[in-house]
Structures are given as C-alpha cells and as structure tokens.
Amino acid sequence: MTETLRAYTQADATPVLQGTRIAVIGYGSQGRAHAMNLHDSGLDVVIGARPDGPSHGRAMADGFEVASPVDAAKQAQFIAMTAPDMAHREIFQDAIAPNLDEGDTLMFAHGFSVLYGHVRPPKGIDVILVAPKGPGDLVRKEYERDRGVPCLFAVHQDATGKAHEKAIAYAHGLGGTRAALFETSFKDETETDLFGEQAVLCGGATELVKMGYETLVEAGYPRELAYYECLHELKLIVDLLYEGGITKMHEFISETAIYGDLRSGRRIINEETRERMRTILSEIQSGQFAREWDEENAAGRPVYNQRLQEDFDHSIEEVGKMLRGHMTWLQEDARTAAMEAAE
C-alpha cells in the first residue's frame, strides 16, 4: 500500500536557525523567493552571486548583502543551493567544499545533483532538501499574503542530530508550514519530479498539444481553430484540475465533453502509453537520464538546442503569437509582472 505522508505545520517548527547566517547561492526565481521570505521571517541572509552576473545587481537592488559564492560560503553556517542543477558540481567544488566546517548545513531545492553524484558532501555536515511545490513568484506572493506554498523536505545526512529540525525551520521561513510540509527522500523527490516533467507536465503535455493541433491542420481545419481547441482551452481544464481535481473538471464541463472524455481519452492515453511511461521512469531510476543529460551538456547541447529550436519554429507558435496579441488580459498581466519585477 502506498504510504500517506505526514503533514507538518507551523506547530512543528523551532527557532533552530535563529542566529545562523544563511548563504543563498543563486538568485534566480527560486533563490530570490527563498532569500526574501527568509529575510522577512527574521533570518540572517547573504546572497552568493558572481560579481559579473545579472543576479548580483538584482540582489543588491533588493537590499541584500551580496558576496561572491566563495565569500558567502565562508561566512555562512547554512548554505542553500538554489542555482541550476547543472551548475552545482562546479559551484560545490570551487566555492562551497573548501569552506565547509563541521556542523554546517548544505541545503538543496532539488535532489538531482546529490542523487546522481554531481555533489558528494563530506561527512560531518547536515545535508537536507527543501522544495516548494510552486514557482518562485508564487512562493513569494503567497508569503506576502500571509499564506504559503506546500513544500517537501528530506534529510540525506544528519551529522548534528538537528538536520530534521533545520529542514522544517527552513521551510517554515519560506512560509511552507503555513500550508503543509511533507517529508520525503532525495531519491523520491528527484525521481518523481523528473518523471512528472518528462511524461506528463512538459514532455507529455506539449507533445499531446502539438499532435492534436497537427491532426486538425492536416485535416484541413484553420490553424486558428486548431490552436484554440488544442492549446488555448487547455488552461480552462488545467485550472479546474488544479482547483478541484478530476471531480471539479467533470462538474464544470458539458455532458458532451464528459462523454467524449470517457469514450476517447483511454484510446489516446492507453496501455501502450503506460508502458512507455514505465520505460521513462526506469531510465530515471537507473540513472540513464542523468548520464545522458551530463553527456549532452559536455557536448555543448547539440540535440537539446536542435529540438528546442524545432519547438520554437513550430507553426503553433506562429499562430499562437498572433492570436495572443488579441488577448488584452495577457498584455495586462505581462505589464503587471514587469512592474512587480522592477520594484
């Protein structure tokens, strides 16, 4: 039977990180949200960013003390790795590993680099994971509304006997305990995250959208109709699923749509699809995906760049850009986001 995870709340948090200097290494979407929420929770934060990088200036403008990753790691007892996964190996080797002291804490927002050996933490330090289940801007906005985004946490190495307590305290500083905090492992967090991205959320969804669009266009239907039916209206369904699961979706779509769902859905996503999903999961579990991603990066990302450009050049992108130009609410949302980012 599948295990039900315990939900930790604010009552489970302790002030174990008070008086601890936290270095946030990487100031992208997640790093910025982590740093700002931790600071507003009363914790001592320094940002580690390259002096010549764009993040350095933004962190300074946000009012943070900013140092090079090396200097930030030297002065901190708790180091939060929020930089991109593929940068972890170099950052750890050059900036963090030489500056770790016994009893320090190394935290990751995703378990990839530890699980697949890009980072091999030494003994004598705590190694933990805290992963908000939402993008950085949502993590920040929900915190500002006195709410929070649910988080996952895990302990890979407990050298001090307080790693569990520190992970909960860090998530609490992000606002995660205002919603719910669930304990997992580096392995489970990484493998489920990669599988979801590849089979459903990114790879699966975008290929399904493109194939549906192509099927209608090949049958002679206007590209605009194909775009609306296969991409644009996806948001309606995703919002209903997000808000109330499959049950709410069925409550708010027509009976004709429900019958079409029940009649045809399993003909598109079928047992062959499930077997392909199992293959993808086994490649993640075995480390094959991570090895291929390492090799692709080492080679300069030739396949990555080619296939990404193919997506950008797809006709659904051309017609979509034109149609979205008529959606005034999207332009308003973009202006609001730009203004908030500039504040």
Q: What's the pLDDT score for residue 14? A: 97
Flag whether pLDDT at 334 surpasses 80: no
Host H or E run for residue 80 = strand 78-81
pTM: 0.91
Indicate the range of 92-106, 190-204, 322-336 predicted with least confidence: 322-336
With beta carbons less than 8 A apart as the criterion, state whether 107 and 80 touch. yes
Mean pLDDT over 302-306 rounds to: 97
pLDDT band for position 182 (50/70/90)?
A: very high
Percent of the chain clearing pLDDT 70 (strictly above): 96
How far CA 58 is from CA of 143, 318, 330, in Å, comes to 20, 33, 25
pLDDT digits (tens, 9 = 90+) for 42-82: 999 999 999 888 889 999 999 999 999 999 999 999 999 99
Binding residues for NADP(+): 27-30, 50, 55, 136
3-class SS of residue 98: helix
3-class SS of residue 82: coil
Task: Give the residue numbers annotated as catalytic, written as ranges.
Answer: 110
Binding residues: 27-30, 50, 55, 136, 193, 197, 229, 233, 254
Flag whether pLDDT at 338 surpasses 70: no
Q: What's the pLDDT score for residue 337? A: 57
Host H or E run for residue 285 = helix 271-286
Q: What's the pLDDT score for residue 342? A: 46
Question: The tokens 């860090």 sit on which residue?
Answer: 170
Residue 318 structure tokens: 């051309």
Flag whether pLDDT at 339 surpasses 70: no
Mean pLDDT, rounded, of the chain: 94
pLDDT digits (tens, 9 = 90+) for 212-245: 999 999 999 999 999 999 999 999 999 999 999 9
Strand partners, 130: 153
Flag whether pLDDT at 274 surpasses 80: yes
Q: What's the pLDDT score for residue 53? A: 83
Please tell me which residue, 327 or 339, carries the higher pLDDT value.
327
Residue 174 buriedness (CB in 10 A; 0-12 / 13-18 / 19+) = buried
Strand order in the sheet with 21-25: 7-8, 181-183, 151-157, 126-132, 105-108, 78-81, 21-25, 44-48, 65-67
